[in-house]
Amino acid sequence: MSEENEVKESEEKKNKKINQMSLSEVDSAIKKTEEHMKGLESKYAKSLLARKAELSSK
């Protein structure tokens, strides 16, 4: 039984692909990225911003 719990926990901890994130997940990822990377100049941050624009236009 404990093995099943460990598998579920590891699945939850996996990073989610940007193109599968919802708007709220993208917003929280942008905030985290801005704090940790001291800006939004990285490729990851630019991808997040593009995904946010895509979701906002829908």
pLDDT, one tens digit per residue, over 23-51 is 999 999 999 999 999 999 999 999 999 99
49 part of a folded domain: yes
- Calculate the average pLDDT of the chain: 84
Residue in the structure block whose two tokens are 């624009």:
53
Q: What CA–CA distance (Å, rounded) separates 5 from 58?
A: 37
12 part of a folded domain: no
Query: What was the pLDDT predicted at 16?
Result: 87
29 neighbors 48 (Cβ within 8 angstroms)? yes
5 part of a folded domain: no
* Domain extent at residue 41: 17-57
Total count of domains within the chain: 1
10 part of a folded domain: no
Query: What was the pLDDT predicted at 18?
Result: 93
Query: Helix axis angle, 23-37 relative to 43-57, nearest 10°?
Result: 150
- Whole-model pTM: value is 0.73
6 part of a folded domain: no
